[in-house]
Amino acid sequence: MGSPFIYEEPVGPTELIDREHEAERLLDRLLDGRNTRLEAPRRYGKTSLLLKVQQDCRDDGLVSVYVNFLGVLTAGDIAERIERAYREQLDSPLRRWFTGLVRTLRPTLKAGGPLPVGAEVAVTPGEGGLLDRLSVPRRLMEKHGKRSAIVFDEFQDVLRAGDQVDAVIRSELERHRDAAAYVFSGSHPGMMRELFGTRRRAFYSQAGLVALGPLGAADLAEEIGRRFAAHRRDVGDALGPLLDLAAGHPQRAMLLAHHLFQRTRTGRAADSDAWGAALGDAVRDVDGEVQATWQALTATERRLLAAIAGGTAGLASREARVRYGLAKTGAHRGALERLEGEGQIVRAQTVTGWQVVDPLFALWLRSGREWPVWD
Ligand SMILES: Nc1ncnc2c1ncn2[C@@H]1O[C@H](COP(=O)(O)OP(=O)(O)OP(=O)(O)O)[C@@H](O)[C@H]1O
Ligand SMILES: [Mg+2]
């Protein structure tokens, strides 16, 4: 029987645990025409939440479009993503209207397409096409009197599409006050801060913050228990250790619950054997990712992560120096900032003042950079 725990892709609105409060806030802001930035570590459920909010917006009569910027390299790529989102997500008759409209817009210049004649002399030929596609909500309001709620997911990647692209985007969006409201979502805290928190950038202070924290233990316990029961299983005594290890990390909680479910037979309760086997399965799942993350770190970053995951002494302490080889002074400030910017660590009420975001990576770090053995 298929497991009721999805952990490899965004979940649908009916499978979303908790987040009612955040969904309501996002919807209210969109209905009020206010822009929002949604920030959370990787795999905290941003996209899943945004898909729910998109549905809520539609239920409230807004036109809602979700665009994912992951991997864009140019203004033309962004234009292409936006165009495709409208093409795929508008309901007819708006879809028919858009099909006609798009033929009147300047080209997107996506990679591989032909450059228009004379494009070599233009400074940024892709920007015209981008501006035209960004203007669609304004045209939709003029033509059909409909307001839009637009989600730009993985928005930090605009920074990779050229230094001025955020300014180009803002120049059009600031004309949308009555036509559309936006959610900008991103999983790279450093780049989101660069976009929305630096004075010289076009989006400085342009969007109120909604942040996603870990999921509550009570919500997770209830939902995991319910899904086991719905498939004639009992999560049993394994629930406690699962909640402790996942520490509210949404994707890690679902990953662990999935493997525990697979190791629990119909009509039975999950016991310590099942939990041990599930941990082994989970570790096999994430090992490649953990190794790749580790390989990409500098020596100072590794030492900091080990000390933070260890959590037994402050980063400037003698113990941190002896046990993890950390330099005494502020020599590691830059590395700390990088780790935080990359979303590897977040501030927390711990002895180091930090916490490793991924609890499975933290377990591996804590166990001497190898996996514990469960039998
Ligand atoms: N509220 C939730 N309820 C249930 N599962 C969740 C929830 N939030 C996240 N998840 C789990 O986390 C996984 C990742 O969710 P999602 O892709 O929405 O996160 P994300 O923050 O957009 O991730 P990324 O940073 O990789 O874009 C989902 O497959 C699901 O297992
Ligand atoms: Mg996502």
pLDDT tens track for 176-201: 988 999 999 998 999 999 999 999 99
186 CA from centroid of ligand 2 (Å):
8
- Give the ligand with the smallest distance to the CA of 13: 1
Ligand 1 center to residue 46 CA distance, Å? 6
DSSP readout, 54-115? Answer: HHHHHHTT-EEEEEE-TT--SHHHHHHHHHHHHHHHPPTTHHHHHHHHHTTSPP---TTSPP
Residue 108 has what pLDDT? 82
Q: How far, in Å, from the CA of 342 to the mean position of ligand 1?
A: 18
289 CA distance to ligand 1 middle (Å): 17
Q: Which atom of ligand 1 is nearest to the CA of 254?
A: 31
Site to probe by mutation for ligand 1, drawn from 3, 5, 6, 11 as the one with most ligand atoms within 8 Å of Cβ, is 11
Residue nearest ligand 1's atom 14 by CA? 43
Rg (C-alpha) for the chain, rounded Å, is: 23
β-bridge partners, 39: 186, 211
d(CA 352, CA 154): 30
Please provide the average confidence, as pLDDT, over all residues in the chain.
93
**CA–CA separation, 89 vs 233, rounded Å?**
38
Ligand 1 site residues (CB inside 6 A) read: 6-11, 15-19, 40, 42-48, 187, 215, 250-251, 254
Task: Give the closest residue (by CA) to ligand 1 atom 29.
Answer: 7
For residue 312, the SS3 value is coil
Measured from the Cα of 42, ligand 1's closest atom is: 25
Contact in structure between 3 and 281 (CB atoms under 8 Å): no
For residues 132 and 122, give the distance between their C-alpha atoms in angstroms, rounded to a whole number. 16
Ligand 2 centroid–CA 137 distance in Å is 23
> Helix, strand, or coil here: 269?
strand
The closest of 338, 308, 344, 340 to 323, measured between CA atoms, is: 308
In the prediction, which pLDDT does 58 show? 96
Tell me which of 104-118, 189-203, 234-248, 271-285 is least confident: 104-118
How would residue 119 be classed by pLDDT, with cut points 50, 70 and 90?
Answer: very low
Whole-number Å distance between alpha carbons of 46 and 22: 10
Neighbours of 122 (CB within 10 A): 12
| Residue nearest ligand 1's atom 17 by CA | 10
> Ligand 2 centre and the CA of 46: distance in Å?
5
Q: 3-59, pLDDT tens digit by residue?
A: 999 999 999 999 999 999 999 999 999 999 999 999 999 999 999 999 999 999 999
Strand runs labelled E in the chain: 36-39, 63-68, 148-153, 180-186, 208-211, 345-347, 354-356
Say if residue 257 is exposed, middle or buried (CB neighbours under 10 Å; 0-12, 13-18, 19+). Answer: buried
d(CA 50, CA 185): 9
Q: What is the pLDDT of residue 155?
A: 96
Ligand 1 geometric centre to CA of 355 (Å): 19
**Which residues have CB under 8 Å from 68's CB, separation 6+?**
47, 81, 153, 154
User: Looking at 116-130, 149-163, 216-230, which range is the least confident one?
Assistant: 116-130
Give pLDDT tens digits for 205-260: 889 999 999 999 999 999 999 999 999 999 999 999 999 999 999 999 999 999 99
pTM of the model: 0.93
Ligand 1 pocket mutation, candidates 42, 254, 286, criterion most atoms within 8 A of CB: 254
Q: At what angle do helices 239-246 and 359-366 cross, to 10 degrees?
A: 90
Residue 333 belongs to what H/E stretch? helix 333-341
Q: What are phi and psi of 195, to 5 degrees?
A: -75, -45
The residue contributing the CA closest to ligand 1 atom 12 is 251
Q: What strand order describes the sheet that includes 63-68?
A: 63-68, 148-153, 180-186, 36-39, 208-211
Whether 208 and 30 have beta carbons less than 8 Å apart is answered as no
